[in-house]
Amino acid sequence: MSNAPVIVLASASPRRKELLALAGLKFTVDAGDYEEDLSLDLKPHDLAKFLSREKARAVSHKYQNALIIAADTFIVFRNELLGKPHTAREASRMLTLLSGKSHVVITGYTVLDTGSRRSISRSVETKVWFKRLSRDEILAYVKTGEPLDKAGAYAIQGKGALIVKKIEGDYCNVIGLPLAALAETLRRCGVNLL
């Protein structure tokens, strides 16, 4: 068992870290310095997989016998990709766009085995419906600070749960890591979570 690969989460996201810990996985975190670019000319699912693969590759050279897990999450609304807002104004714009409508959350993830150089990339989609939000509700939510640095300007596992009407698909995917799909991929790499 001593030559079992180290598991590395290539993400600075505290949400992804919490989800992996909940699954009972022992891992270390190495966020790397890859800057995702949502403007690349790829279809959304291809883009999500590409970005996760590049995040995994960015840290892979540091490890000889490791499974690197990387992910990228964004929102697609009417063919527009919504990443993380960095200002209150951007967050308000996104929430106004999504109010009363549905959007899709896409997470691409990659598991890269540095020993064999084999990697598996997948993407998972979840549909989310927002309730209709008043201007005051949007401003109050933005004021909490929670929408900043979250794809689509909300956290479904936080106060954002108050604005989500329903979802169709994997709840964990909306948080940023589709655990059920990832567990299946890890199983194919010799790591069983159950």
Active-site residues, by number, are 72
Q: Where are the alpha helices (DSSP H) in the chain?
A: 14-22, 44-60, 88-98, 135-143, 171-175, 179-188
Both tokens of residue 140? 């109050």
CB atoms within 10 A of CB 193: 14
Between CA 136 and CA 140, with CA 137 as vertex, the angle to 5 degrees is 85
CA distance 82 to 158: 19
| Structural contact between residues 130 and 97, judged by C-beta atoms closer than 8 angstroms | no
Q: Kind of pairing, strands 80-82 and 28-29?
A: unpaired
Rounded to whole angstroms, the Cα distance separating 172 from 179 reads 6
Q: What gap in Å lies between CA 47 and CA 167, rounded to an integer?
A: 23
